Amino acid sequence: MKQFERSFEHLLFSSRWLMAPVYLGLVLAMVVLLVKFAKEVLYLLSHILTASGAEMIIGVLSLVDIALIMNLLIIIMFSGYENFVSKMEDLHNHQDRPDWMGHIGFADLKIKLIGSIVAISGIELLKGFMNVGNLDDRELAWMIGIHVTFIFSGLLYAVMDRLQRGGGDGH
């Protein structure tokens, strides 16, 4: 029976590698976002003389939105892989290794995720305000409601996380 238990535990431990293709999929999602980013830049450049200021601002906000999502994907890939699959031992002394890499735990990852979602939602809301003539009151109300929900959820999670950690000075 002890041999079965050890084998089962080894199988469970090895199953973490099932997440590796998921992280590879996130890399592919970044490639898709990079293509979308390039398309948006080309559009902005081709309309630089004819677009209104509001259209340019919305275009730039779209670029910022894509950049935030890509940054979020990097954080999720690096910290998720290191927390749940395997340590990136060979990269510990790499000159370009981000300082936060290897130090973000699951709770920190969730806080960063919620913060990024709030930022992305805020950018979408700002784009909506810049394009308010094309939105009805109901659409705008939904955008505001969703954004406020994200903010409230983020604040609530941060408070719960702080209470769980004992409200120490290090956070």
Per-residue pLDDT of the chain (171 residues; tens, 9 = 90+): 889 999 999 999 999 999 999 999 999 999 999 999 999 999 999 999 998 888 899 899 999 999 989 988 988 888 888 878 887 777 667 777 776 666 666 677 778 888 888 988 998 888 888 878 888 889 999 999 999 999 999 899 888 888 888 765 554
Residue 81 is assigned to a structural domain of this protein: yes
How many domains does the chain contain in total? 1
Residue 116 is assigned to a structural domain of this protein: yes
Residue 96 is assigned to a structural domain of this protein: yes
Residue range(s) defining the domain that contains residue 140: 2-164
Concatenating the DSSP letter of every residue in the chain gives -HHHHHHHHHHHHHGGGGGHHHHHHHHHHHHHHHHHHHHHHHHHHHTTTTS-HHHHHHHHHHHHHHHHHHHHHHHHHHHHHHHHT---GGGTT-TT--TTTTT--HHHHHHHHHHHHHHHHHHHHHHHHHTGGGS-HHHHHHHHHHHHHHHHHHHHHHHHHHHHTTS-TT-
Q: In terms of pTM, does the model score above 0.85?
A: no
Residue 47 is assigned to a structural domain of this protein: yes
Residue 154 is assigned to a structural domain of this protein: yes
Residue 169 is assigned to a structural domain of this protein: no
Residue 103 is assigned to a structural domain of this protein: yes
Residue 48 is assigned to a structural domain of this protein: yes
